[in-house]
Amino acid sequence: MDIRPVFSEPQAASSGTSQLCSGADILRHADDIEQDPQLRSALVAMSGGVDSTVAALLASREGIDCAGAMMRLHAQSAKAESDAQEACGQLGIPYYTLDYTEAFSKLVILPFVTAYREGRTPNPCVDCNRSLKFGLLIEKARELGKDLLITGHYARVARDSNGRFLLKKAADASKDQSYVLYSLTQEQLAYIHFPLGELSKQEVRRLAADAGLDNALKRESQDICFIPGGDYAGFISEYTGEAARKGRFVDEDGNDLGEHRGIGCYTIGQRHGLGLAMPYPPYVINIRPDDGRIVVGRSESLLSKAFYMRDINLIPCDKLDSPIRARVKIRYKHSGQPATVAQTGEDTLFVEFDEPQRAITKGQAAVIYDGETVVGGGTIV
């Protein structure tokens, strides 16, 4: 695809959120929880793990009247529900189980399945945060008369000199989760509290151990919560009741290389599990849902510099009046690289990296940073 910048002078782009809009000149990390005595009750999003439990512990120690809530999202939730209820019992706070299985299927699983079947690689954690954890759960917290929603995310909320809320990286860069939180709105940021934002994982586990919490050493899951074994293709077939439609591998010149198991079984940049004997290590470089072909090529064919994103959310301002210089992450583990970002429409941004990046993937989230501050993000198209 021929992608051209919409600006001609990248060096003239503004640098940093201080030039994006009025009111982002001076960042202050004042915590409204400490300053406002009226913010005294909270619903805590419990997962059964150590992070949400310590978040509830710290909030309780701040004098906040907490109640824990576990979202039942899918059939794999039973053990987590039991752990969450036990944690709330140890903390001496009320516990709720909220059945959101229907909403989760509609708002998270269905888009996930649809994206894979269309050759995109989605991030269901972003959808879950947007629609459920900071959507339906905030609604429930308000319904229960709570002043705040508290979660165990590693991120920080600050305010600028004009009172606008900002999302910032966690103090512990190795645990920072701001990437999956880019869609938070001003209304949501005003209502949430992240007690773990200044802590490391080691400090969180130590706090849990010192408090005698049973989940102090509980292992973290690295899988998508509703696919604990990581078999995406098997899950999609079971969910849809349809076997994956097989297709053909082709090289960059269109030469047929053999049959593949279905486009939902692959993602851009994939190297293993292709089953191809090639004179070079083959990588998936393009997925073509229209004709069911998967294009493979050399590693260097994965490099590109520019892309568009849609479904955008900007946090320090309502829009980008001019191109900005920033660092952009194109997946959770990506380090974030220098780029120029320009707004091309009400709901679209154009990104051009200074240097080519590997495997820019449709469907993944792209998140824009100015130092520690999240400027915003969207979905790569």
Q: Tell me which residues are annotated as active site.
A: 128, 225
74 CB burial (10 A radius; 0-12, 13-18, 19+): middle
Pairing assessment for the beta strands 95-99 and 65-72 based on DSSP bridges: parallel
**In 130-183, which ranges are E strands?**
148-150, 155-160, 165-169
The three-state secondary structure class of 72 is strand
66 CA to centre of own chain: 26
Q: Is 184 left (phi over 0), alpha (psi -120 to 50) or beta?
A: beta
- Integer Cα distance of 223 and 148 in angstroms: 29
Q: What residue has token string 């290590």?
A: 281
- Residue 199, both tokens: 């802590």
- Integer Cα distance of 281 and 307 in angstroms: 26
Residue type, 177: Q
- Integer Cα distance of 210 and 212 in angstroms: 5
Helix (H) / strand (E) element for 207: namely: helix 201-210
Distances, alpha carbon 176 to alpha carbons 134, 371, 373, in Å: 18, 13, 12
CA dihedral 79, 80, 84, 86 (to 10 degrees): 20
- Integer Cα distance of 139 and 136 in angstroms: 5
Pairing assessment for the beta strands 192-193 and 148-150 based on DSSP bridges: parallel
- Integer Cα distance of 82 and 71 in angstroms: 12
